[in-house]
Amino acid sequence: MKTIFGLFRYSPSFRIGAIILMFVVTLLIMSFFSPYKPDKRRVVPRNEPPSAEFVLGTNSQGQDVFWMLTFAIRNSLLVAGLAVGIGRGIGVFLGLISGYLGGTWDRILSGIVDSFIVIPRLPLLILIAAIVRGQMTLIGLGVLLGFLDWSFPSKRYRAQILSLKEREFTQTAIFSGMHTFKIVVQEHLPFIIPFLLADVVSGFLFAIGMEVTLAVFGLADMNSQTIGTMIYWGNYYQALLTNKIWVLAAPVGASIVVVVGFYLVSVGLTTYLDPRTRLTRLQVKG
Amino acid sequence: MKLLRTFVLPRIIQYLVVIFIGITLTFLIPRLSPINPVDNAVGRLSAFQTMAPEATVALRESLMDLYGLDGSLLEQYFSFWKRVLTFDLGPSFTVFPTPVSKLIGSSIGWTIGLLSLSIILAWVLGLILGTLAGFFPNSWWARTLENSLIVIYPIPYYIVAFVLLMAFTYYLPIFPLVGGSKGAPGFTWSYISSLLYYGFLPALSLILGGVAFRFIISKALTSTERSSDYVRFAEMAALPKHKILFSYLIRNTLLPQVTDLGLSLGLIFEGALITEAVYGYPGLGTLLLGAINSADYNIIMGITLLSIIGIATASLLVDLSYPLIDPRVRYS
């Protein structure tokens, strides 16, 4: 908690990012108070431009774009959150194993991980999504994205563990007879957790981008509102040609706001994690 | 000789592992799914016309054969490898019986052209801008550049491409909406200029993201190098700034950039697929979008295989160029 306040004070990018994300979360919470059901059509007059009554206008299906957007943000973040959870779960697990066990295990695991980094994920994702087309759910999409996004994080955790293992305090702990499990939990975990935080944020960026891409190709769960499907249906109903730019501007703008918010937060966290800047900060305080 | 054993050989083994995993995955994914593409195809065909039961069975069998779905899983796996190695990817379903390899062959040139041009431009531009901004971190232009690129960088490729498309073909109609060129192919000015004209927006949207990424990395690298001892000594020795920058600093920041290029090739390629689909550029991305819309599995599979092999080969080549740049690897 103290760290977050410190970050808020010292890092301008974290400050701006956090404010943007708070705004996004507010929108997400508002979806629970929506006056309309997300997939209900013809509840408001059609094709209204933005006005005081309809903040972001309405679309050709008689849906209020603003309330649709709140559902879209909620669903997109749900998919991304699931993907991040699964991806980091696998990544942390493999990274820890190959970092701590070392030797043959490490060599085999690192070989596999390095191979997965090189394999392009989008074509594989499209292949899978095309085969289960029409049966894809939001949950399924999240799980799928999670299973494709673990190789980079795993490599980073391994590097992190390897460097922690060589530090002096680890040696001290071993020589003073501390149990291995205790060293991992008490001494190493506090270093891993802030690192994990920054990594989680970059995972969100990947998942949101992929969700938008798949939806635009028509391969996501097309019946739910997500940022990507809103763009897809906006294009489908010719929002541009019929001069209803607000239908498309809302999801496009929302996606930019969400990713920029997440990214600024991660920039702030990474700067904070960098030992050099940390040292100067400590000196300033002390 | 030692270089070959400690550097080249492990890298080539790694490459073979990548190819093996990639091809095995593309083989397994369609077979693990509960949905049979052949039944899907038969269903789509017989939806429009009534067919005799025998004809349906015959159709199903020949499709099973074409898709390589006969025999046990192991037999299928071996025949899959044989087909991959001979570049025989089966016929396309929508433009039957044109082989998939021919369709891919006719559109891959566009993708490679667009991709190589924008990778090189983005890499060079981002490197130069990032290094300069890292070397002069307090100037107003470095800060403006950094702040604007930090906002552009995380935006998904699709959104960048789509916003540019809206802005420059719809609101300010100065660029064409779809296509790759105009007129008959040849070495004439009109054809080459139309090539540039049509390729400008797709390339721009790829370059924007690429430059932002490279800029952020090379700025960080440069500011680390800048505070190191050799730069300080060079400054004390009153060497001219451009000499420090170009003869010493850039050479040291270059190496991680090359590794990184190898690793990020896959990402850039994905970006190119998306961008092409947005602009209707006649490369693999547009072919893929068409194949998705018509459920043409052979094309999707062919593009997946090709991209795995292509990306793995390209990043192998990037890695093997390492000793050329870094004397430490060469002489170790």
Question: In this predicted structure, what is the pLDDT of residue A286?
Answer: 40
Global confidence as pTM: 0.82
Report how far apart, in Å, the C-alpha atoms of B175 and of each of A33, B190, B191, B204, B282 are. 44, 16, 16, 12, 16
Q: Choose between A9 and B239: higher pLDDT.
A: B239
Give the mean pLDDT of chain B: 82
Q: How far is A131 from chain B (nearest CA, A)?
A: 7
What are the pLDDT digits (tens) for B196-242? 888 888 999 999 988 988 898 888 888 888 888 888 888 888 888 88
To 10 degrees, what angle do helices A121-131 and B284-293 make? 20
Q: What is the C-alpha to C-alpha distance for residues A203 and A269, in angstroms, rounded to an integer?
A: 14
Whether the Cβ atoms of residue B213 and residue B286 lie closer than 8 Å to each other: no
Q: Is the model's pLDDT at B263 over the cut of 80? A: no
Query: Are A263 and B150 a contacting pair at CB < 8 A?
Result: yes
Query: Are A123 and B37 a contacting pair at CB < 8 A?
Result: no
For residue B55, give the 3-state DSSP assignment. helix
Query: Are B30 and A219 a contacting pair at CB < 8 A?
Result: no
Query: Are B35 and A132 a contacting pair at CB < 8 A?
Result: yes
**Domain regions of chain A by residue span:** 2-285
- Segment A52-78 mean pLDDT: 83
Q: Which amino acid is at A156?
A: R
Question: In this predicted structure, what is the pLDDT of residue A148?
Answer: 87
Whether the Cβ atoms of residue B301 and residue A127 lie closer than 8 Å to each other: yes
Whether the Cβ atoms of residue B84 and residue B308 lie closer than 8 Å to each other: no
Nearest to B292 among A120, A130, A240 (CB): A130
Question: In this predicted structure, what is the pLDDT of residue A285?
Answer: 47
Beta bridge partners of residue A64, listed in sequence order: A58
Q: Choose between A144 and B55: higher pLDDT.
A: A144
- Segment B152-157 mean pLDDT: 86
Whether the Cβ atoms of residue B19 and residue B316 lie closer than 8 Å to each other: no
* Structure tokens, A69: 């957007």
Q: What is the C-alpha to C-alpha distance for residues B217 and B236, in angstroms, rounded to an integer?
A: 27
**Top-confidence range, A105-109, A142-146, B91-95:** A142-146
pLDDT class of B125 with cuts at 50, 70, 90: very high
Which residue of chain A is at minimal alpha-carbon distance from B36?
A131
Q: Choose between A280 and B21: higher pLDDT.
A: B21
Question: In this predicted structure, what is the pLDDT of residue A83?
Answer: 93
Q: What is the C-alpha to C-alpha distance for residues A212 and A181, in angstroms, rounded to an integer?
A: 42
What are the pLDDT digits (tens) for A225-236? 888 888 888 888
Count of pairs with CB atoms under 8 A, one residue in A, one in B: 124
Q: How many residues does chain B have?
A: 332
Q: Is the model's pLDDT at B22 over the cut of 50? A: yes
Residues of B in contact with A132 (CB under 8 A): 33, 35
Q: Is the model's pLDDT at B47 over the cut of 70? A: no
Is B317 part of the contact surface with chain A (CB cutoff 8 Å)?
no
Residues of A in contact with B155 (CB under 8 A): 255-256, 259-260
Is B135 part of the contact surface with chain A (CB cutoff 8 Å)?
no
Q: Cα angle vertex B256, ends B129, B7, to 5°?
A: 150
DSSP H stretches of helix in B139-188: 140-152, 157-165
**Residues of A42-75 as b/e, b for ≥16 C-beta within 10 angstroms?**
eebeebbebeeebebbbbbbbbbbbbbbbbbbbb
Q: What is the C-alpha to C-alpha distance for residues B265 and B244, in angstroms, rounded to an integer?
A: 30
| Domains along the sequence of chain B with CATH | 103-297 (1.10.3720.10)
What are the pLDDT digits (tens) for A167-209? 788 888 888 888 888 888 777 877 787 778 878 888 888 899 8
Q: Is the model's pLDDT at B72 over the cut of 80? A: no
Number of C-beta neighbours around residue B213 at 10 A: 22
Whether the Cβ atoms of residue B213 and residue B156 lie closer than 8 Å to each other: no
* Structure tokens, A181: 């499990």
For residue B99, give the 3-state DSSP assignment. strand
SS (H, E, C) B119-130: HHHHHHHHHHHH
pLDDT class of B80 with cuts at 50, 70, 90: confident
Q: Give the sign of the dihedral formed by CA A106, CA A107, CA A111, CA A114.
A: positive
Question: In this predicted structure, what is the pLDDT of residue B34?
Answer: 67
Superfamily of domain A2-285: MetI-like (1.10.3720.10)
DSSP H stretches of helix in A31-64: none
The least confident of B93-102, B112-121, B200-209, B286-295 is B93-102
ipTM greater than 0.95:
no
- Segment B47-63 mean pLDDT: 72
Q: What is the C-alpha to C-alpha distance for residues A17 and B243, in angstroms, rounded to an integer?
A: 39
Could you say which residues from 136 to 195 on chain B have a Cβ atom under 8 Å away from some Cβ of chain A? 150-151, 153-159, 162-163, 166, 170
Percent of chain B's residues with pLDDT above 90 = 2
